[in-house]
């Protein structure tokens, strides 16, 4: 019922602004996960700002499932209806109700997903409140993702563009990683000279109504490994207010950037989170803590056989994690193969490629865009 009311209100607004013209130099960024410009949006925006040719609009909010939060979301959607349908290009990092229902012909929508890949099923491959549609292009890390993204976002395979993920550019830069490491060590001087273990899991349940996390005894792991190790945890953004341990010697990294934490990390403990794709760029050891693996497979579904593709040991208990780390049981060659499988580009220039494609959407004719796009893709395949 709530979604129906929102739809009717937005349909009325859409009718009012229908005859507003598309502004050929206007690019709108939309996210409901942050109130500030960050990650891919920030990197792409900087590239576009340098040309000083575009009208850039930012509709950024952090959705909260409360009465006030839903009222704010409604007004945000009203704002979106106008800006989406008067923009030449709309850039998203999450799914979007307005685009899927009210996008005008002539508006080009580019989805820059907030993850570099996917283990668990998502988008149109899972049960949703509304089907995703009306996207024109999706950016991916490599050709491996073309079929998966095509189905999940309801776009042609030819329009899944393996241009690379802008926010991973820093992970391919030694200088940037050194700067991240210096800043992180300044913030946490207690980790100097120690081996750092980062625990970075995804959420469980419904992200809007019933978000949960998988319990883990980090204190046990720390105590068993001894003083030569330090533990940091960073939960999924849906869980960033959760404190999973009272041990003052275990660092809560929920407010730290994941790439800054990567720069000091020796071992990553993860599960089904897409952060493993980004971390694989560094070719460092990974452990997969999945005591709920069978249940998760059944409830959420996965794109590939989990046990076959994970580039590291799969553990069901904290004791197994300790044993793996103590005995250094890591297949580094498998991590490199995992990285090479999922990333076509390793040059740290993805933000440049994506911004150039956006400029082509703004200025070039459709035939020229197609030639440009295909030549780039075929170049990568070759």
pLDDT tens column, 34-60: 899 999 999 999 999 999 999 999 999
Q: Contact at 8 Å (CB) between 91 and 99?
A: no
Q: What percent of the chain has pLDDT over 90?
A: 81
Task: Answer whether residue 255 shows pLDDT above 50.
Answer: yes
What is the model's pTM? 0.91
In whole angstroms, give the CA distance from residue 330 to residue 285: 6
Would the pLDDT of 287 be above 50?
Answer: yes
pLDDT grade for 313, boundaries at 50, 70 and 90: very high
Q: Per-residue pLDDT for 263 more than 90?
A: yes
pLDDT at 208: 66
Q: Which two tokens stand for residue 337?
A: 């193969």
Three-state SS at 330: coil
Q: Which two tokens stand for residue 116?
A: 């570099």
| Separation CA 380–CA 382 (nearest Å) | 5
pLDDT 10s digits, 189-242: 999 999 999 999 998 877 666 777 888 999 999 999 999 999 999 998 777 777
Q: What is the pLDDT of residue 57?
A: 98
Whether the predicted pLDDT of 377 surpasses 60: no
Q: Give the SS3 label for residue 266.
A: coil
Q: Is the pLDDT at 378 greater than 90, yes or no?
A: no
pLDDT at residue 382, rounded to an integer: 38
Q: What is the arithmetic mean of pLDDT over 131-135?
A: 97
How would you classify the pairing of strands 204-206 and 210-212? Answer: antiparallel
Q: Which residues contact 198 (CB under 8 A, 6 or more apart)?
A: 231, 232, 233, 234, 253, 261, 262, 265, 267, 268, 269
- Plot region of 377 (φ>0 → left; ψ -120 to 50 → alpha; else → beta): alpha
In the prediction, which pLDDT does 374 show? 53
Does residue 371 register a pLDDT over 50? no
Closest CA relative to residue 32, chosen from 207, 178, 184, 192 = 207
Largest CA distance in the chain: 67
161-177 pLDDT tens trace: 999 999 999 999 999 99
**Confidence (pLDDT) at 205:** 73
Quick one: pLDDT at residue 364? Answer: 66
From edge to edge, which strands make up the β-sheet containing 160-161? 55-60, 23-31, 87-92, 108-111, 137-139, 160-161
User: What is the distance between the alpha carbons of residues 199 and 242, in angstroms, rounded to a whole number?
Assistant: 14
Amino acid 248: pLDDT: 87
Query: What residue has token string 């553990």?
Result: 315
Would you list the DSSP string of 39-64? Answer: HHHHHHHHHHHTTT--EEEEEE-B--
Ramachandran area for residue 324 (φ above 0: left; ψ -120 to 50: alpha; else beta)? alpha
Query: Can you tell me the mean pLDDT for 315-335?
Result: 94
pLDDT value at 375 more than 70:
no
Q: What pLDDT shows up at residue 53?
A: 94
Q: Which tokens go with 27?
A: 């690019």
Between CA 95 and CA 193 the distance in angstroms is 42
User: Mean of the per-residue pLDDT values for the chain?
Assistant: 92
């Amino acid at each position: 019922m709530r979604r129906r009311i929102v739809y009717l209100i937005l349909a009325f607004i859409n009718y009012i602004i229908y005859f507003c013209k598309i502004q050929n130099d206007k690019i709108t960024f939309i996210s409901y996960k942050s109130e500030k410009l960050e990650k891919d949006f920030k990197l792409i925006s900087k590239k576009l700002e340098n040309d000083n040719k575009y009208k850039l609009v930012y509709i950024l909010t952090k959705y909260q499932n409360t009465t006030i939060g839903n009222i704010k979301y409604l007004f945000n959607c009203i704002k979106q209806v106008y800006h989406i349908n008067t923009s030449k290009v709309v850039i998203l990092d999450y799914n979007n109700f307005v685009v899927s229902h009210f996008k005008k012909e002539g508006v080009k929508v580019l989805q820059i997903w907030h993850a570099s890949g996917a283990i668990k099923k998502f988008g149109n491959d899972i049960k949703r409140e509304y089907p995703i549609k009306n996207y024109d292009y999706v950016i991916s890390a490599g050709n491996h993702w073309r079929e998966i993204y095509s189905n999940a976002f309801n776009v042609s395979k030819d329009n899944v563009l393996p241009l690379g993920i802008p926010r991973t550019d820093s992970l391919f830069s030694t200088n940037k990683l050194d700067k991240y490491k210096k800043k992180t060590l300044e913030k946490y001087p207690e980790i100097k000279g120690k081996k750092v273990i980062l625990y970075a899991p995804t959420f469980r349940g419904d992200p809007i109504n019933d978000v949960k996390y998988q319990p883990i005894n980090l204190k046990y792991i720390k105590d068993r490994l001894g003083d030569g190790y330090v533990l940091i945890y960073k939960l999924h953004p849906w869980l960033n207010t959760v404190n999973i341990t009272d041990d003052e010697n275990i660092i809560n990294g929920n407010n730290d950037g994941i790439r800054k934490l990567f720069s000091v990390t020796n071992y990553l403990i993860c599960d089904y989170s897409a952060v493993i794709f980004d971390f694989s760029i560094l070719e460092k050891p990974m452990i997969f803590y999945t005591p709920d693996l069978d249940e998760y497979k059944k409830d959420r579904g996965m794109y590939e056989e989990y046990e076959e593709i994970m580039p590291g040991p799969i553990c069901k208990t904290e004791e197994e994690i300790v044993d793996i780390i103590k005995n250094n049981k890591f297949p580094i060659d498998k991590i490199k193969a995992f990285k090479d499988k999922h990333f076509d580009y390793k040059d740290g220039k993805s933000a440049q490629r994506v911004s150039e494609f956006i400029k082509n959407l703004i200025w070039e004719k459709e035939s020229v865009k197609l030639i440009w796009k295909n030549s780039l893709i075929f170049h990568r395949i070759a």
